[in-house]
Amino acid sequence: MDLLHSILVKPFADMVGAPDFLIQVLWEGTVSGVLYALIALGFVLIYKSSRIFNFAQGIMVVFAALTLVGLHQMGVPALLALPLTLGVMFILAVAIERVVLRPLVNQPDIILFMATIGITLFLIGLGETIFGGENKRMITQELMIPTGNSIFEPFGGFVSIEHKDVTAVVGAVILVVALLAFLNKSKMGRAIRALGDDHQAALSVGISLSTIWVLVWFIAGVIALVTGIVWGARAGVSFALEVIALKALPVLMLGGLESVSGAIVGGLMIGILEKLFEIYWGQPLLGGNTEAWFAYMLALLVLLVRPQGLFGEKIIERV
Amino acid sequence: MLYRVAGQFKTSYKADYALFPVRQDAWLLAFILLLAFVVFPMTANEFTFRALLIPVLIYSLAALGLNILTGYAGQLSLGTGAFMGVGAYACYKLVTIFPEMNIVIAIALSGFFSATVGVAFGLPSLRIKGFYLAIATLAAQFFLVWLFQKWAWLYNYNTSGAIQVPNISMFGIPVAGPNAKAITQYYFVLGIVCVVTFFAINITRGRIGRVWKAVRDMDIAAELVGINLMKAKLLAFFVSSYIVGVAGALFVFLWRGAAEAELFDIQLSFRVLFIAIIGGLGSILGNYLGAILIVALPVVLSTVPRLFGLPISSAMVEHLNIMIIGALIITFLIVEPHGLARYWQIIREKLIIWPFPH
């Protein structure tokens, strides 16, 4: 009885009892959800256009942030370091396409997946060799990201919202809108989607596979840079980010591998639900740190009901 | 000339399907076993046993387990590390609850625990396929490692949160724990690996193996010809997790000597997956070749700069190692996506017609 009470009643009583704390938790969840969604977006883009399950997206986030901070430490002004980092991400995209993807065209999915894990290892080694493995501070002020926080007092309580989190959410929204506009309206964007629908057909109407792949990997690099800045501002730049980036995988499962909107909704859902679960159920009942697995379990349960994820394309199988 | 198969006639169906239809294969295997059982133990020192021979055997056993699931039955799994952990923790609990139990029996039983857990996490495979399933196995990976940390009963409420292997003897000879000699442990692991490999070879080339291959190649078609998908997939999860669990128990008891939950993290899963893929999916031999490569590579890479007297700091060597391994994985995938086992096949075919190529 006590157990049932502490599972079914007490958490909700706590939520209603301290609405300001609930709002704070929801806000924190939303911010991390936005970050998960951003990483997942990079995955989705690459998966849509090339059916490659890009495991390296997480390390690309770290690598982009490291490059930015590293360049700044070498004396490059922050606002110049930003385009330079974009340049590095472009070179990376070209290199990946030339060296890794082109020779592996038409290989089974799992081989390409393993190749992206190879890329991950390579980038970890490269990043550590060039910039060192220690935790670095994100150049927040230099990039003119506002710091400090606002305090609200709803319901006579206390909610603190950091300005850089607000910047993160706004930045993410702008990025997503721009990306959707690009994918749906521009010629290049339509070519990307065409390639995602049918490689052969797209090739036969004259869409260049290699150009699109470079483009897609570059866009994924840009998304990685934005994610890296935002996340680095919260937690510093280190290779630990890569492990957190794995969270994007359940986000993808939940949203469906092909869906941009699915990635966003899935990211927000997982971000918020895992925070709620951790605070109200995990810490009192299970000893905490449930964030390590909650997202995966949630995604697993959803998949049992909908094998293609919430927004994925319906899987039609033919023999 | 050496590998000439002409003249080796098969006069019955049984002879054609024997384990070694070609006599030279049997000789080659005998030679490898001679190396493994006699030559290596006589020449190896403590370092070689601990850094190369034992880990190669244990990793290849884990990769063999994964290969049965991924290479033969076609179900991609990223949770191998956690299943190894289940085997290790189960073996630890068995050994501490029943100290008189023979270690071989404890290890054999601990495989059943990981097999049960594997089947439980394999259930979604009936509905989920491909990468979705791979991410679903990640749920097992992260949940189980969390459980190893939080469930204090598993590590007997140690303050360190780690499991320590006690001294275990078999027939008066210490085989596990701080007192055991490396050569005993090597023979112990080698024995288990040989037995498991023998069973694995025979399972995969028999009826069950063919059912798995049918499911891997196209599961709907397999279902249409009357294969029970649920049975086939769950059996694959069972056998695979059993072998992986045994490998996990060996990993801690016969090699590491102590383990924390973090030892079984996703990096371990990936390492085993690398071995299986670089070795060759859907091949038994590949696991050994892959394990030799992945285990020996860091050892070689860290000794090479020292040999040339290059002034590189150990941290730098570490970073370069990761980079080189990443690059090598990509290179191997590009050069031969079917893995090292494929190389052996090509060499063997060349040898058969040598010296008279068409």
pLDDT of residue B64: 94
Whole-structure pTM value: 0.87
Is residue A188 within 8 Å of residue A182, measured between CB atoms?
A: yes
Is residue A72 within 8 Å of residue A236, measured between CB atoms?
A: no
Is residue A87 within 8 Å of residue A204, measured between CB atoms?
A: no
Residue at A314 is within a domain = no
| Dist CA A279 CA A97 (whole Å) | 43
Residue at A317 is within a domain = no
pLDDT of residue A202: 85
Residue at A160 is within a domain = yes
**What residues of chain A lie within 8 A of the CB of B135, using their CB?**
249-250, 252-253, 296, 299
Query: Does A203 lie at the interface with B, CB-CB under 8 angstroms?
Result: no
Q: For residue range B46-85, list pLDDT tens digits in order.
A: 888 888 889 999 999 999 999 999 889 988 888 899 999 9
How far apart are the CA of B14 and the nearest CA of chain A, in angstroms?
Answer: 34
Radius of gyration of the CA atoms of chain B, in A:
21
Residue at A312 is within a domain = no
Please provide the distance, in angstroms rounded to a whole number, between the alpha carbons at the two ends of chain A.
52
Query: Does A313 lie at the interface with B, CB-CB under 8 angstroms?
Result: no
Mean pLDDT per 10-residue segment, chain A (319 residues): 74 74 82 85 82 84 87 82 89 90 81 86 86 73 69 70 80 85 86 81 86 88 87 76 76 78 84 85 75 83 78 66
How far apart are the CA of A179 and the nearest CA of chain B, in angstroms?
Answer: 25
pLDDT of residue A80: 85
pLDDT of residue B173: 81
Residue of B nearest to A257 (CA): B132
Residue of A nearest to B328 (CA): A118
How far apart are the CA of B109 and the nearest CA of chain A, in angstroms?
Answer: 28
| Dist CA B331 CA B322 (whole Å) | 14
How far apart are the CA of B134 and the nearest CA of chain A, in angstroms?
Answer: 10
| Dist CA B12 CA B96 (whole Å) | 52
Residue at A310 is within a domain = no
Nearest CB to A125; choose among B128, B218, B323: B323
Residue at A311 is within a domain = no
**What residues of chain B lie within 8 A of the CB of A120, using their CB?**
326
pLDDT of residue B354: 79
Strand locations in chain B (E): 163-164, 168-170, 173-176, 258-259
Residue of B nearest to A47 (CA): B131
In chain A, how many domains are there?
1
Is residue B86 within 8 Å of residue B251, measured between CB atoms?
A: no
Contact: B330, A99; criterion CB under 8 Å: yes
How far apart are the CA of B322 and the nearest CA of chain A, in angstroms?
Answer: 5
Residue at A163 is within a domain = yes
Interface with B, mutate which of A47, A60, A110 (most B CBs under 10 A): A110
The DSSP 8-state label assigned to residue B110 in this structure reads H
CATH code at position A275: 1.10.3470
Contact: B76, A124; criterion CB under 8 Å: no
Q: For residue range B251-273, list pLDDT tens digits in order.
A: 998 888 888 888 888 889 988 98
A186: left (phi over 0), alpha (psi -120 to 50) or beta: beta
Q: For residue range B101-141, list pLDDT tens digits in order.
A: 888 999 999 999 999 999 998 888 887 777 778 877 888 88
Domain residues for A91?
A: 2-305
Q: What are the C-alpha distances in Å from A189 to residues A226, B244, B287? A: 20, 45, 43
- For residue A237, the cross-strand partners are A136
pLDDT of residue B67: 92
pLDDT in tens, chain B (358 residues): 677 777 788 888 888 888 887 888 888 889 999 988 888 888 888 888 888 889 999 999 999 999 999 889 988 888 899 999 999 999 999 988 888 888 899 999 999 999 999 999 888 888 777 777 887 788 888 889 888 888 888 888 887 878 888 888 888 788 887 777 888 889 999 999 999 999 999 999 889 999 999 998 888 899 899 999 989 999 999 999 999 999 999 999 888 888 888 888 888 998 898 888 888 888 899 999 999 988 888 888 777 777 777 666 777 777 888 888 888 888 888 888 888 888 888 888 888 887 777 6
Tokens coding A54: 């890009």
**What residues of chain B lie within 8 A of the CB of A319, using their CB?**
218, 220-221, 224
pLDDT of residue A318: 62
Residue at A238 is within a domain = yes
